[in-house]
Structure 1
């Protein structure tokens, strides 16, 4: 077993540097600037609104945003091609395959978004697991953790990023009573380090953290510090419907657009086909939302 796989299994996350080819780095930064500008000027409808932590994301009174959704959407034009090429790059997908212990032929295209700094005020997400309710009893929590090995979430920092907090090892075990106190409400933490066992991750530009999205985690968004962090997940299609709710709750009907398949590499098209199979085999009524707030 590789060292990154051992680290990932033990602590629930691993940081890998230098996956972006140097000549592609500035292209991704430029593409991020384009889509952030479109979002802030109001011409891109798929965004994460300030004051709303989880989907569905609607308009908010501040008209401010902490994320850009659907980075590979063909309506974004050339930036979407840049992002698609990174999502399906050999460097990135080889790590995903290693962590998921699957072949390239099993990788499933899923979500690809951008995390950014709001402009009007700072913001925080509450402590959570992505697909476990905050009020889940320990036995329900453990059952969910036991099966959450069929996908990997990842953040690639285009600028230094110290926003993410995690509790190492919490992807394996239910919360302690003390941890539940800090994660059973809708309120974001006043100080994330009050959570027992918490550590703060700092990513240097170009570093990628791969993590189990059911690790206990939260994030802070400083409106005074530029942030542009690629935020996505990649699945293992061998596990079928287990990924459906976490992925399809975001609304992905646009991936059926023929323009999208045309902008992808051959590998990307194969990854897309696995996502389309998941959509086709999942009833919309069965999806719902993982979390509220």
Structure 2
């Protein structure tokens, strides 16, 4: 049986309804086998460099949140690498990553989900999640709401309007993301608050299974975790795009990763057609958020 070709995006209203209801939505076969082949080649080059200790922006085992001790990349291993659009990325690989980020498929999906125009978008993070050298799991969390926040404040934060889109784009089969559907619309239950951080059977949990070329968009404050199997190849592009006018909490969530230190050095002039213009415009809006010195971190561990 031939591999599936890319498929048209579902109607915007359908995408928004699913994301609002469940806290995540999967777009199957969003990219063609030809696109996937290019993305995989760039990802393999980048991952090999990071695992060899030749890339300073990595997520090291067993730490879940930034900052990560880069010195442990070759001893403990990595479960992700940061800043795929960084100007020191190998030129061809950086161009491929940029095309997957600023290209029509991703931008069309993001603008549909956020019900916005291309001119509203802000360049944010683009990273890659990879299989570590040992089995590894993240604890249950919301990306920007800490575990000790009381229920009333938690609910207040969850009711804030969506000012960004966050996604996983699978280059290989991926069953790492585990979510509790609908948990982005309510405070945690007492059971969720008191559960073991690595609970394997959280009530209502499900695995967001992905095939190569699938994109899963999810609300970053849905209750979720990652479970990584060292025996399964994993290269999943993990990105975010924002909207102009984000609040300070959103700015901290992005700038805490150090992107403000190098965003101004990016040159997207080698991208094809309107992609180059869009890249420069989105880059400018990110730079307008500031460099992020002393913003602190969204989570502590």
Note the aligned Cα RMSD (angstroms). 1.6
Q: Indicate whether 1:188 and 2:229 are aligned.
A: no
The aligned residue for residue 225 of structure 1 is 232
The aligned residue for residue 292 of structure 1 is 300
Q: 1:27 aligns with which of 25, 34, 38?
A: 38
In the aligned structure 2, how far is the partner of 1:240 from the partner of 1:292? 20
Per-residue CA deviations over 1:134-171 (Å, capped at 9, x if unaligned) read: 11110111111111511111000000000000011111
Deviates more, 1:32-41 or 1:236-245: 236-245
In the aligned structure 1, how far is the partner of 2:16 from the partner of 2:297? 30
Q: Indicate whether 1:150 and 2:163 are aligned.
A: yes
Secondary structure of 1:111's counterpart equals strand
Q: Indicate whether 1:66 and 2:73 are aligned.
A: no
Deviates more, 1:203-212 or 1:229-238: 229-238
Per-residue CA deviations over 1:111-136 (Å, capped at 9, x if unaligned) read: 000000011x1000000000001111
The aligned residue for residue 107 of structure 1 is 121
TM-score, length-normalised on structure 2? 0.89
8 Å CA contact 1:171–1:215 kept in 2: the answer is yes
Q: Indicate whether 1:206 and 2:213 are aligned.
A: yes
8 Å CA contact 1:148–1:214 kept in 2: the answer is no
8 Å CA contact 1:106–1:238 kept in 2: the answer is no
Q: 2:52 aligns with which of 41, 54, 64?
A: 41
The aligned residue for residue 256 of structure 1 is 264
Written as runs of structure 1 = structure 2, the 5 A alignment for 1:87-98 is: 87-98=101-112
In the aligned structure 2, how far is the partner of 1:69 from the partner of 1:279? 19
8 Å CA contact 2:170–2:210 kept in 1: the answer is yes
8 Å CA contact 1:127–1:182 kept in 2: the answer is no
8 Å CA contact 2:36–2:212 kept in 1: the answer is no
8 Å CA contact 1:166–1:215 kept in 2: the answer is yes
Give structure 2 stretches of 5+ with no counterpart. Answer: 1-11
Deviates more, 1:148-157 or 1:46-55: 148-157
Q: Indicate whether 1:134 and 2:147 are aligned.
A: yes
Superposed structure 1 runs of 4+ greater than 4 Å apart: none
Q: 1:81 aligns with which of 74, 83, 95?
A: 95
The aligned residue for residue 124 of structure 1 is 137
Q: 2:63 aligns with which of 38, 49, 52?
A: 52
